[in-house]
Amino acid sequence: MRYAQGGGLSDERRQFRESIRMMAAERFALGEPSSAIAKELRVSVRSVQRWRRTWFRDGP
């Protein structure tokens, strides 16, 4: 079963998650590896890789 927009997160949690993505995007622009970004932001490498693909495809 798929969640509605936001994956079942509260507005506060969704906003927090978006801020994490923005921090990751700043590091993508610096060319940092996904593993280093994931470790620093305390998220999975897979999430960072997915965000990077989206960032590369859609732009900053």
- DSSP-assigned letters across all residues of 3-58: -STTTT--HHHHHHHHHHHHHHHHHHHTT--HHHHHHHHTS-HHHHHHHHHHHHHH
- For residue 1, pLDDT over 50 is answered with no
**pLDDT, position 5:** 62
pLDDT tens digits for range 28-41:
999 999 999 999 99
Rounded mean pLDDT, 1-24:
80
- Degrees to nearest 5, angle at CA 24 with 57 and 12: 105
Domain ranges of the chain: 11-58
pTM of the model: 0.78
**Burial group, residue 56, by CB count within 10 angstroms (0-12, 13-18, 19+):** exposed
Token couple for 34: 């996904």
Rounded mean pLDDT, 15-36:
94
